Amino acid sequence: MRAEVTGKSTKKAFSKGDMAVYPAHGVGCIESIESQEINGDTMSFYMMKIVENGMTIMIPTSNVESVGLREVIPETEVPQVYEVMQKKTQASDNQTWNRRYREYMDKIKTGSIYDVAEVFRDLFQLKLAKDLSFGERKLLDTAQNLLVQELSMAKDVDEALMIKEIENLFS
């Protein structure tokens, strides 16, 4: 990946073979960069294949920032993600489960691994105190999958080993 400076902002540019994170979908590989004509305009797209399920996503190269496509975090940031997960929080039990669900979903959609780590931590701690709703259990699984994918990629370790490492943070 390289950064192109256009005017004042820095635009991220990915190359074929780069690994990237697409918010709420996880880690994927840029398989190709293709041009297609849409309504008379020629547009460039990243063709990204999501690692977990093989789904291919077309991302306009001009929309990288607005959709939140970003690089996988470097291994040096992994301890900071662990810190977020280990931070003790006050359970927000006064909120209804659907309000919590919306807040957590919004955080996951940001694409920030730190936000995903907060969702995982909060739901994991809540699970220890009480039963989670079906939606919250699904969100916990989603947050865990997103974390495991990116952290295992950052550390270049197997996902099963990453799951064990995350579990050890809470024991």
Q: Which of 77, 122, 61, 114 is nearest to 95 (CA)?
A: 122
User: Helices (DSSP H) in the chain: which residue ranges?
Assistant: 64-67, 78-86, 97-110, 113-129, 134-155, 159-169
Say how far apart CA 160 and CA 141 lie, in whole Å.
15
pLDDT at residue 88 in the model: 80
Reply yes or no on whether the pLDDT at 3 is more than 50: no
Region 60-77: mean pLDDT is: 93
pLDDT score for 100: 85
pTM confidence score: 0.85
Window from 69-73, 75-79, 166-170 with minimum mean pLDDT: 166-170
**The dihedral sign for the CA sequence 164, 80, 106, 171:** positive
Phi and psi torsions of 30, nearest 5°: -75, 105
113: Cβ contacts below 8 Å, ≥ 6 apart: 21, 73, 77, 81, 146, 147, 150, 151
Stretch 31-48: mean pLDDT: 93
Q: Is the dihedral of CA 91, 171, 128, 132 positive or negative?
A: positive
The three-state DSSP-derived secondary structure of 109-149 is HHCCHHHHHHHHHHHHHHHHHCCCCHHHHHHHHHHHHHHHH
Query: In whole angstroms, what is the distance from residue 55 CA to residue 110 CA?
Result: 20
